[in-house]
Structure 1
Amino acid sequence: MKHRWPIRLAAGALVAGTLSLAALAAGSQGSQTDPLISLSYLTDQFTPSILQQVDEKIAAREDALTQQLEDAAEGSDASGGVYQVVTLSQGQTLTAGSSCEILLRSGTAVCVSDTSPGLVDMTAATTLAGGGTLTANHLYLATIEGRGVTASTAVTLMVRGDYTIA
């Protein structure tokens, strides 16, 4: 029994020494004297590289959006945002596209629609069924493509949006 205590003492000292060295080695990584990345590399190389990549992506996205806007401008009617004065003779029909706005300025006209609602009277906050007479100076909205107005007499309309006349 007297011979075992020196062996146990040596084994304990060996384990304690190993743990101390491991703790010492783990504590020095990433410190000021042994950084994971140097400040000069971060400011001189890494940050400018990231900023350049961001600038390239922003420029590419800006070019794509500019191209989309140019394509949309080419494909749309130049007067899509303003009212156009349209004159219809008796019996002519204006067929509106979806979201087309119609304002009857003079004359009499009736709503053309297969189903209800024909047109939305935005001035009176009501709907106008097919065959209903339009009221002068009321703003009408065609919510579904194919709705429109037929002139009972010669009419003057103000129209904003897509439409066809037959």
Structure 2
Amino acid sequence: MKQGKWLPRLAAGTLVTAALLGVALAAGQQGTQNDPLVSLSYLNQKATPSILEQVNAKVTEQSQTLTNQFNDLIKSYTGQMEDKLNAAAGGDAQSAAFSVVDVAAGQKLTAGIGCEIMLRVGSAVCFTDTPPGFIDMTGGGTLENGQALVKNHLYMATIAGRGFTAQDAVKVMVRGEYTVS
């Protein structure tokens, strides 16, 4: 009977020993030079900075590309707008911009249709045959015959033959067609 108990114990011991050797062998092969274990310090010191550096390089490259494309679009649209303004102003780029005009006391400035006027220095009074004289684009109202222009208000002539008479020497900014008499 002693032999019958000894054989199963030997088999069980051999089986446990083989299992322990297999686990030890498997654990011994992890973290070799060729296949290292990934540790938190490796991620913090090596992997993450490398990944962030690559991402930053790509973001910078893409940002520069988009900035260049955006600047090209701005130049293109600016050119198109300048062409349209020149065409609307009869091809004269200066007509699309304000110009400073000096009007002596007693002189009249007669505005063409769509002419814009801004009184900067002095005083002037609107003249017109029929209302409205000027459209006050700043105040949102109209200026009638005999009313004074307000400094730094932008006025527009919507009908030909409207203008102002300078009470004293004035400086106005004008955009559009006009005559001084």
Q: TM-score, normalised by structure 2?
A: 0.50
Indicate whether 1:138 and 2:138 are aligned. no
3-state SS of 1:115 partner: coil
Q: Is 1:115 matched up with 2:130?
A: yes
Structure 1 unaligned regions, length at least 5: 1-68
- % of aligned pairs identical? 55
The answer on whether the counterparts of 2:89 and 2:95 sit within 8 Å (CA) in structure 1 is no
Is 1:162 aligned to residue 177 of structure 2?
A: yes
The answer to whether residue 113 in structure 2 is matched with residue 98 in structure 1 is yes
Using the alignment, how far apart are the partners of 1:134 and 1:83 within structure 2? 18
SS state at 1:98 partner: coil
**Over aligned residue pairs, what C-alpha RMSD do you find?**
2.0
Residue 126 in structure 1 maps to residue 141 in structure 2:
yes
Structure 2 CA distance for aligned equivalents of residues 134 and 73 of structure 1: 27
How much has 1:74 moved relative to structure 2? 9.8
- The runs of at least 4 consecutive aligned structure 1 residues that moved more than 2 Å come to 72-78
Note closer, same or farther for the CA distance 1:78–1:132 as it changes in structure 2 (3 Å cut). Answer: same
Of structures 1 and 2, the larger Rg is shown by 2
Which amino acid letter does the alignment assign opposite residue 160 of structure 1?
Answer: R
- In structure 1, what is the Cα distance between the partners aligned to 2:176 and 2:113? 8
2-structure distance, mates of 1:143, 1:127: 11
Instruction: Structure 2: state its 5+ residue gaps.
Output: 1-83
Which of 89, 92, 99 is the equivalent residue of 2:104? 89
Q: Scaled by the length of structure 1, what TM-score is found?
A: 0.55
Cα deviation code 1:95-141 (max 9, x no counterpart): 00000000000100000101100001110000000111000000000
Aligned length: 97
Change in CA separation of 1:81 and 1:74 when aligned onto 2, cut-off 3 Å: closer
SS in 1 for 2:125: strand
Q: Alignment partner of 1:80: what SS?
A: helix
Higher helix proportion? 2
- Opposite residue 85 of structure 1, the aligned amino acid is V
- Alpha-carbon separation, structure 2, partners of 1:73 and 1:124: 26
> Per-residue deviation at 1:78?
3.5
The residue type equivalent to 1:165 in the other structure is: V
Alignment of 1:33-48 (within 5 A): none
